[in-house]
Chains A and B, each alone.
Chain A
């Protein structure tokens, strides 16, 4: 049986055409295929307009960039073309499509019952019925979402807890429980594993500069290696040689106040410093040179006299930019508390939200400079089961219809 024959059968099931009253005329109009095709075309046109014309927030940006566009944007706004998807006329079109689908479904069901339990061409009948019911449920889901869903966000630090969130339209909504962030973790693809990407040291040099110049000679930092310096005679009044030796290197300089000794706080190059000995004719002097604080003179701070040398020394550390690491995932370990009791625990990440008592929590962001902080999206959307059921029916229906047509084409040997 072809689809046209199927339509014929539906028409026969409706009985002979008789003059209709007004409500019936409306139903006839909604059942018309011409209207259905027209609606599909007009909705498609509306969608095209919405992707071509500036919408919502884009309009504000456009006006800031081009104030001259104000006049025609006002006209578009008045016609509801700058917020198409929430415009009354677009919702009206979707409502008309829903009404048309409802009438179509009702007529098919009526024909189905009229034909008995197993009508001929039942695959096609059920296929198209499922597709139409699936679309109707999806539209219904859209209505439920519009009126009854809530969407907002919240931010938590590790250990912090909250029992409320702020919606996108700035309302405070109370959760039926308390949510606590236990831990936030970020994972990178690189083998450097977890944690923030670090700078890497490319070169460490000891720079010898003239008294009035920033240019100078650079030596690699080598513990124990003695460098001979012969300043120009004009600077010293003699041909005296000086000797510079690096004695110690500390990646993260600190002074232990209890023992008054220099130590490294960590292995990271957070406050790199070297101890150099400078020897001329007189007694040798030792100086700490700091890469991050080149003008800081610890000897002067401690009241020790530095032997005046006809040159300046600098400690230079060249670091490479942090290697670009690709984020693999970021996760928040959440705990749901009811009173003092732990009701639920779950670690969420992108593509793996937590749903608990009507609310779903999505991992939405983090702060690169403060990895103890997480941003969550909070959603309560009762339309989801309705829409998912719609999707299932739509998929099954489209499969049955395509299968029937493939079989039909095979029977007819059109190819």
Chain B
């Protein structure tokens, strides 16, 4: 009989296939390989969609309340943003293996080191704001992760004796700009929703809690990126480095703060 674990395993296998086929395609490009890698990644997204939906029904609440559930959601948003861009022809398939690898790392870490048991929600988390806040913020993080992959791609391509040429660099720049614009929208809306929820739950919309502060730092870094890109015409490696620094800030906000700093978001660990 099909269980939640089986669906999770399907997602793992699908991402692994996408990683292997996409990597082989990088060195020996074949149309079939590329299509199969895309199909693998798409299957992974579909499997995670089923997993999250099923878990939601089983728990009778949105499954975004602990690190395990959050990592599954992050892997889902990252691969969803990438697959949507890929299927619309907005992003090169060269990023398929790195996207699959990042999603796979999150899922493997979640299943190996974190409890997947469905636990009852503590009173502070029993709110619809949990769903809105976490989903919007993680869609933002997923977009920033794609921008990060494009930025590292750009930094590698611009270092190499450029057989890839200026088109690849221009493409990477366009992907960074677009995904960061999109991610910034979701990040600021997610932070604002979190602030409204904090006001409902704790009587204050901002407490300079480490997680709040780091989300602000992340937003400021991406604001610098957007102002530099669109108003000062920044481009090239400077832009790529800001996208990399921005994603490091995302990781500190998302993981680092939970383990290294005490705060109101401690339950997230």
CB neighbours (8 Å) of B120 from chain A are: 189, 326, 328
CB neighbours (8 Å) of B124 from chain A are: 350-351
Are B189's CB and A398's CB within 8 A? yes
Task: Give the contact-size bracket for chain A.
Answer: 35 or more
Q: Tell me which residues from 209 to 251 in chain B have a Cβ below 8 Å from any Cβ of chain A.
A: 210, 213-214, 216-217, 220-221, 223-224, 227-228, 230-233
Are B123's CB and A328's CB within 8 A? yes
Q: How many Å from the CB of A123 to the closest CB on chain B?
A: 13
B95 within 8 A of A: no
A85 within 8 A of B: yes
Partner of A37, one of B170, B175, B205, B227: B227
Question: A7 vs B200: C-alpha distance in the bound complex, in angstroms?
Answer: 40
Are B223's CB and A40's CB within 8 A? yes
Question: A4 vs B230: C-alpha distance in the bound complex, in angstroms?
Answer: 7
Are A402's CB and B185's CB within 8 A? yes
| Residue from the set B175, B192, B202 with the largest chain A CB neighbour count within 10 Å | B192
| Residue from the set A326, A329, A351, A377 with the largest chain B CB neighbour count within 10 Å | A351
Q: Mark B179-201, 1 if CB is under 8 A from A, else 0.
A: 00110110011001001110111
CB neighbours (8 Å) of A47 from chain B are: 213-214, 216-217, 220
B261 within 8 A of A: yes
A409 within 8 A of B: yes
CB neighbours (8 Å) of A351 from chain B are: 123-124, 126-127, 129, 197, 200-201
Interface SS, A side: helix
In this complex, what residue of B is CB-closest to A388?
B196
Are A379's CB and B232's CB within 8 A? no
Question: A261 vs B45: C-alpha distance in the bound complex, in angstroms?
Answer: 72
Are A33's CB and B220's CB within 8 A? no
In this complex, what residue of A is CB-closest to B85?
A415
Are B210's CB and A51's CB within 8 A? yes
Q: How many Å from the CB of A66 to the closest CB on chain B?
A: 18
CB neighbours (8 Å) of A36 from chain B are: 227
| Residue from the set A40, A43, A189, A327 with the largest chain B CB neighbour count within 10 Å | A40
**Given A47-B217, A85-B208, A329-B126: A398 and B184 interface contact (C-beta under 8 Å):** yes
Are B210's CB and A379's CB within 8 A? no
Question: A189 vs B123: C-alpha distance in the bound complex, in angstroms?
Answer: 11
Q: How many Å from the CB of B118 to the closest CB on chain A?
A: 12
Question: A384 vs B201: C-alpha distance in the bound complex, in angstroms?
Answer: 14
Q: Tell me which residues from 123 to 168 in chain B have a Cβ below 8 Å from any Cβ of chain A.
A: 123-124, 126-127, 129
Question: A160 vs B223: C-alpha distance in the bound complex, in angstroms?
Answer: 51
Are B175's CB and A401's CB within 8 A? no
CB neighbours (8 Å) of A394 from chain B are: 188, 192
Q: 12 more A-B contacts (CB under 8 A) besides A47-B213, A391-B196, A405-B230?
A: A43-B220, A51-B213, A142-B206, A328-B121, A328-B123, A329-B123, A350-B201, A395-B189, A402-B184, A402-B185, A405-B181, A414-B171
Supply 5 A–B pairs (Cβ within 8 Å), ascending by A.
Answer: A328-B126, A360-B203, A391-B195, A395-B192, A406-B178
Q: Which residues of A contact B (CB under 8 A)?
A: 3-4, 7, 33, 36-37, 40-41, 43-44, 47-48, 50-51, 85, 142, 151, 189, 326-330, 349-353, 360, 362, 377, 379, 381, 384, 387-388, 391, 394-395, 398-399, 401-402, 405-406, 409, 414-415
Q: Which residues of B contact A (CB under 8 A)?
A: 89-91, 119-124, 126-127, 129, 170-171, 174-175, 177-178, 181-182, 184-185, 188-189, 192, 195-197, 199-206, 208, 210, 213-214, 216-217, 220-221, 223-224, 227-228, 230-233, 257, 261
